[in-house]
Amino acid sequence: MRAMIVVTHLLGTGHLARALTLGRAFAEAGHAVRIVSGGRPAPQLDASGLELVQLPPLQSDDTDFARLLDDNGAVAGPETLDTRRRQLCEALARFAPDILITELFPFGRRSLAGEFLALLDAAKALPRLPVILASLRDILAPPSSPAKAARTEAQVTRYYDAVLVHSDPRLTRLEQSWPVGAALAPRLRYTGYVAPPPPAPHPQALGTGEILVSAGGGAVGGPLFAAAIAAARLLPDRSWRLLVGGGGDLAALRADAPRNLTVEPARPDFRQMLTGAAASVSLCGYNTALDLLQTGVPAVLVPFDAGREVEQGLRADSLASLPGIRVLRSAELIPAALAQAVADVIAAGRRPVPDAGFDGAARSVALACAMAEARA
């Protein structure tokens, strides 16, 4: 089988990380994979063994996902968008996939609807029609109006064979964050969580006994890092490490850091570091939540809630009842509260690691291939 996954991450890198995990599952099952990425390059993510096609990159203007910036930080103009659309359709035509997966669209990325719809129309016109699937995380940003929900359902009905929902329906169902109408419901396929294999302990024991502070691959960690630097001064007997994603000012953070805190760029071995860490302090994106569950590390969650973002708050609330997890809203993010929350989760200790529920990538591959085989 030939599988093509199309993804554009605009703020953090979670969407791309999930697409890479899914692509790797196709490759490990012996299938040809092409991933087309329209966000900024994320060298800290492991894309080894995968064919990655890079479109002219875009990013959002902070949390304004309707205002797209090009690689120079200027508002993306028609020429950039036309180039992306043409390259996307050319990549489809050259690869001629049996399976086409769009990550998040049409439930999000509406500002890029032109290129996604051009892709879907081109797929419908191929000599051999691929199975077309949408790939969704567990919790979505709810639509701002009934009209947007209705438009999404109409696009699913017109173009898509199924919608892969990467969650456990016993814990999180799509209707908790998105209205599921009569036409959408029969197309939903719950896969379980899409996660890489659980990490092994770090071979150099990096991170052992440390408090690891991270904010994903985007540029939204400023308030969290500032609070962590101040909290580290309140817990001077603990070693802290800030892992700074794209857009963070490493020099300024290092200049402000106390002696018990290390500041460095985001690392590809972060998950291995979690296995021995004393605690994690982080946002609550999909991939981060799975990392915490797979390692059992005590964790303080500070869900990203700027603008109208509610997704991470809903996810954090679903985890809050687990031992060794505390949730601090951004309005509560003061150094003393963060230091106390860190001390509390460390005292609670590590959680047992679930032995099931993280095989969503393999299950997605099986579902997609079964549909493609039935069509052939």
Can you give the pLDDT at residue 63? 75
Can you give the pLDDT at residue 248? 66
Instruction: Indicate whether 14 pLDDT > 80.
Output: yes
Burial bucket for residue 125 (CB in 10 Å: 0-12, 13-18, 19+): exposed
Lowest mean pLDDT across 257-261, 339-343, 357-361: 357-361
Domain annotation for the chain: domains and CATH numbers: 2-195+358-375 (3.40.50.2000), 211-348 (3.40.50.2000)
As beta bridge partners, residue 261 has 240
User: What percentage of the chain carries pLDDT values higher than 70?
Assistant: 98
Q: What is the mean pLDDT of the chain?
A: 93
Q: For residue 289, give both structure tokens.
A: 């939540």
- CA–CA dist 22, 137 (Å, integer): 12
Q: Where are the alpha helices (DSSP H) in the chain?
A: 14-28, 78-95, 113-124, 146-159, 222-234, 250-256, 270-274, 286-295, 311-319, 335-348, 360-375
Among residues 317, 327, 319, 314, the alpha carbon closest in space to that of 354 is found at 319
- CA–CA dist 101, 60 (Å, integer): 22
Q: For residue 248, give both structure tokens.
A: 């963070």
Can you give the pLDDT at residue 247? 64
pLDDT digits (tens, 9 = 90+) for 195-209: 989 999 999 999 999
C-alpha distances (whole Å) from 9 to each of 31, 36, 51 are: 24, 11, 17
pLDDT digits (tens, 9 = 90+) for 38-87: 999 988 888 988 999 999 999 988 778 889 999 888 999 999 999 999 99
Return the beta strands (E) in the chain as ranges: 2-7, 32-37, 51-54, 59-61, 64-69, 99-103, 131-136, 162-165, 188-190, 211-214, 240-244, 261-265, 279-282, 299-301, 325-327
Can you give the pLDDT at residue 218? 58
On the question of a cis peptide bond just before residue 106, with omega within 30 degrees of 0, the verdict is yes
**How many CB atoms neighbour CB 359 within 10 A?**
16
Can you give the pLDDT at residue 222? 87
Residues 310/142, Cβ–Cβ less than 8 Å: yes
User: What percentage of the chain carries pLDDT values higher than 90?
Assistant: 80
> Which backbone phi and psi does 43 adopt, to 5 degrees?
-65, -15
The DSSP code for 194 is B
- CA–CA dist 253, 240 (Å, integer): 13
- CA–CA dist 346, 333 (Å, integer): 18
Task: Give the confidence band of 172 by pLDDT, cuts at 50, 70, 90.
Answer: confident
- How many Å from the N-terminal Cα to the C-terminal Cα in the chain? 11
Q: How many CA atoms lie within 13 A of 345 on its CB side?
A: 29
Instruction: Indicate whether 231 pLDDT > 80.
Output: yes
Q: Taken in order 21, 135, 365, 40, is the CA torsion positive or negative?
A: negative
Q: For residue 114, give both structure tokens.
A: 């032109």
Residues 295/353, Cβ–Cβ less than 8 Å: yes
Can you give the pLDDT at residue 290? 94
Task: Give the confidence band of 217 by pLDDT, cuts at 50, 70, 90.
Answer: low
**How many CB atoms neighbour CB 191 within 10 A?**
24
Instruction: Indicate whether 219 pLDDT > 70.
Output: no
- CA–CA dist 140, 158 (Å, integer): 21
Residues 276/209, Cβ–Cβ less than 8 Å: yes
Which residue in the block uniquely carries the two structure tokens 């199924």? 162
- CA–CA dist 370, 376 (Å, integer): 10
132, amino acid identity: I
Instruction: Indicate whether 285 pLDDT > 80.
Output: yes
